[in-house]
A and B are shown apart, each in its own frame.
Chain A
Amino acid sequence: MLVAGLLIWGFGVPLVLHLRTHHDSANESDGLPRSPASLVNSSILQEFPAPELPICHDFYNYICKHHELSKGDGRDPTGIVHPDVEGERIADGFLKNIIEKHPDWTSDQVDEELVKEVYTPERTARVQAAYRWVQNRIVHLIESQPEHVFTSREKREIVARVKKTELQLPPPASNYADEPDLFTRNDVFYERTPEGQMRMRIGGAYLFTAKSWFNIIFTMGHELGHSIDPCEIRQARLSYPAYDRLTACFLRTGLVQTSNTRSECGENDQLSETFADWIGTQVSAEALKTFSNEFHGAQLINATANSVRDLCEQDDQDNEPEELDTSTHPSPKVRIEKIFGDQPGIRSVLGCAVPEKSVSQYCSFESQNPLPNALKGPMGNPANGLTNGKTSL
């Protein structure tokens, strides 16, 4: 027994994952959702409870503070995630070489050559595949909600927005004619133009920064999530009770910080970013679950960490952590620990304990609104400005 316990400690996930297979069959008998770790606790190593993986206790510290990239077989097999600035320096290097080699070229000629060298078919195909995968998963997430969450009409409206959002990638360079500096930027973003076009654009440097499939998935999930975030929905003059419940849950659980200066969907509001992280997390959980049959142990942990590694504060050249603006984004700790690390699907894939209470407390479209009846509007929705204008919650 002690040997088995030490093995779990020493080799961690491989054994835990192996046990999960056993656990899955055990579930069939009693029908209770239990994590592999809880299975270990309950039926095999009752005298020596198996320690959980360090990541299970503190996603944020494990991913941002202590975690070193594993070498060899322990790596995320799909690739690593570099600091943002490295990707920009690489992309700038391409631009510099082209200008130096061809000082007589016009800026259009330079841009055309730059996108040819940066947005290669191999790099863009990966992003396009990830985008399609994420788009399908978000559509599925919405369509699979029960009727009491979204009516058929609501589903159609939300899904239409997801499908309408276009992934724009060069070449040709003219695809970003109105944003030529993007070729050397690390940013990926969703935007709705003043003309109402919904699109996602990928800065060229991001293609060098994020090699990990899982980082690309989370990033795409987050950005595509913006196409249906509560503020975009409000902007489109739509409103859904399930969104109100989810928003109320974000506020109640501190995933959206409240302050006197917060104006919902306006100044100092984290709602749309929290929602986008939440969508990115749902999609990432699916991706990790899908790949958990192929990846094992440290590979899976690294893949999980890579999903959100770029949300950590990044040290500057003086090794000082950057000061992030949290007026519109939750802090990295909230994003990684609470939104991502508490998601039952993510925890389950890693074999972390998933207490029943945490499943019910994790925000979802089905979250209950605990506001007293006096504060509820028709159909049980908050009528006190939770989704309209300023809130002092």
Chain B
Amino acid sequence: MKNGLLKMRVGTLLLAFFALCGCSTHPVARDATSDEVAHAEITQVEISYVLGHNQHRFTAQSAAQKAEVTTYLEKDIVQQANVDSAKYLSFVSKVVSFAQKPHRTPAQADECRSPFSVTVKIDGKTYTSDGCRFSDEGSLSRLVRDGEFLLYSKN
């Protein structure tokens, strides 16, 4: 019990220390990103991934408060539409958050048959991430799915 209390106190002190020195980056960074996204003049998202034998791409961009999404299968456009701006901003925040997380297997790994790459540009700032779809516990797939829901959201 004493040990437990001691650990809690040490933990509280450490938390306070990290908060003061700004080392606890996750929540702070997330808020900052949301702000960045909300105030950005130009944003661009590109998610490309290999599935089976095909290269798929999901691109989205906004400028002058208009947002557009295009999906590709190889070079062919599958769908293209203007999308709801508010939902678009929320999606971009999700993509930034995804790009900041570490991924289990690098796209270049020999065993990776399904590499992906995610790039977000917010004004001049670029976030990129790559990995392997099948060892990513579905996070890339769910991100793409969110993008598809965005595509069909009413403008």
**A residues at B contact (CB < 8 Å):** 84-85, 88-89, 92, 95-96, 99-100, 103, 107, 110, 177-182, 184-189, 191, 193-194, 203, 235, 263, 265-267, 314, 316-317, 320, 322-323, 325, 328-329
The proximity string for B residues 112-155 relative to A, scoring 1 for CB distances below 8 Å and 0 otherwise, is 01100000000000000000001101100110111011001110
Cβ contacts A to B, 9 pairs, < 8 Å: A84-B54, A95-B148, A178-B138, A181-B145, A189-B51, A267-B110, A314-B74, A316-B75, A328-B113
The minimal Cβ–Cβ distance linking B117 to chain A, given in whole angstroms, is 14
Tell which of B52, B113, B134 touches A193, judged by Cβ atoms closer than 8 Å: B134
Task: Add 16 more A-B contacts to A84-B74, A100-B154, A186-B52 (CB < 8 A).
Answer: A85-B74, A99-B153, A100-B152, A110-B149, A177-B138, A181-B141, A181-B142, A181-B148, A182-B51, A182-B141, A314-B76, A316-B75, A317-B75, A317-B76, A317-B77, A322-B74
Flag if B141 contacts A188 (CB, 8 Å): no
* Candidate in A85, A110, A263, A267 with the most chain B CB atoms within 10 angstroms: A85
Closest to B76 in A: A85
* Candidate in B73, B104, B134 with the most chain A CB atoms within 10 angstroms: B73
Tell which of B76, B148, B153 touches A184, judged by Cβ atoms closer than 8 Å: B148
User: What residues of A have a CB within 8 angstroms of the CB of B154 in the complex?
Assistant: 100, 103
Does B101 touch A at the CB level, under 8 Å? Answer: no
Tell which of B52, B79, B135 touches A188, judged by Cβ atoms closer than 8 Å: B52
Flag if A181 contacts B144 (CB, 8 Å): yes
The minimal Cβ–Cβ distance linking A243 to chain B, given in whole angstroms, is 18
Flag if B74 contacts A179 (CB, 8 Å): no
Flag if A99 contacts B137 (CB, 8 Å): no
Flag if A185 contacts B138 (CB, 8 Å): no
The minimal Cβ–Cβ distance linking A142 to chain B, given in whole angstroms, is 23
Flag if A178 contacts B74 (CB, 8 Å): no
Given A263-B110, A266-B110, check contact A88 B73 (CB 8 Å).
Answer: yes
